[in-house]
Amino acid sequence: MLARALSTLFGAILAASAFTEPSTQERLDTASVRDTTALHGPRSGIPSSEAPRYSVNWAGAILHAAAESVWDVAGTFTIPALSTPVGGDTAPDRSARVWVGIDGDTCASASVRLGYDLVRSKNGAVRITPWYHAQPGPIHFFDDSATAVGASVTLAISATSSSDGMVYITDNTRGTLLSAHFATRNRLCRQDAEWVVENVISDGALVPLVNFTAVTFTEASAVVEGEHGPAEVGPGDAQALNMFQTRLLTDVAVGASSVHIAYLS
Ligand SMILES: *[C@@H]1O[C@H](CO)[C@@H](O)[C@H](O)[C@H]1NC(C)=O
């Protein structure tokens, strides 16, 4: 995983472990929680048996595995173009968060995520901010705002124990690598891996979601400990999850090595 993340590099290493604490205006709320309990609005046409396939604020794929078996997760995607949804209020800043994670779904004690905040402000300016988040604990924003819409980026998390590891973000278009060591206060369960587009919840309310061109994670993979040692697996057996608020907002397709997440008109 690491070797692949590094092999995509063709330029200089931009910065390692360089963070700044952005102003509140620049940052999204730190909460990264999947809200499945309180689907907003009528779930028209969705039988309750199908409810596990929907989330208020996550769309993507979740791979469930045995406890203490997941070591790595990775995926490559293109930073999507952002716009105000047709008929949507143009006044607020709108955003989406794209990430890969370990234990984001079912582990009560800890999780680690790595991704980008994509924000389109009301004046049309786009801010793209890479971050990682070992929970419980604060989110860390990397001091790098130069990744652009259309850039190919690779996210990779590599646990080296149940309480620490490394995160790597490669901007394949610029040829830059950001990396950091993470440590979790509590033990990771290492039992699920995710590839997700999230509508962030801040102070209990959904932040206005931006219209994004489809996000396709390619070379999506996880390293899972099996009978014969660690093996790389794709998301083929992962559970697809769609975002549903007052309507179905996404169309997710999971392949052997890809997770496609489209915003629905
Ligand atoms: C989202 O943007 C695309 C263009 O990228 C557009 O075709 C589509 O209609 C938009 N959807 C909504 C709901 O605004």
Pick the atom of ligand 1 nearest to 81's CA.
Answer: 5
Report pLDDT for 17.
35
Give the β-pairing of 58-64 and 239-243.
antiparallel
**How close is the Cα of 234 to the center of ligand 1, in Å?**
30
End-to-end CA distance of the chain: 35
Hey, where are the domains in the chain? 2-263
**How close is the Cα of 101 to the center of ligand 1, in Å?**
28
C-alpha separations of 115 from 70, 111, 197 in Å = 18, 13, 10
Question: pLDDT tens digits for 53-95?
Answer: 888 899 999 999 999 999 999 999 999 999 999 888 888 899 9
Pick the atom of ligand 1 nearest to 83's CA.
Answer: 2
Report pLDDT for 202.
82
Q: Whose CA is nearest to atom 14 of ligand 1?
A: 85
Report pLDDT for 106.
87
pTM of the model: 0.86
Residue 188 near residue 102 (C-beta atoms within 8 A):
yes
Nearest to 113 by CA among 123, 105, 125, 102: 102
Active site residue 21: no
- Ligand 1 contacts (CB < 6 A) are 83, 85-86, 211, 213, 265
Which residues of the chain register pLDDT less than 50?
A: 1-27, 29-31, 36-44
Report pLDDT for 24.
34
Q: Whose CA is nearest to atom 5 of ligand 1?
A: 213
Residue 172 near residue 76 (C-beta atoms within 8 A):
yes
Does domain 2-263 fall into CATH 1.10.10.10? Answer: no
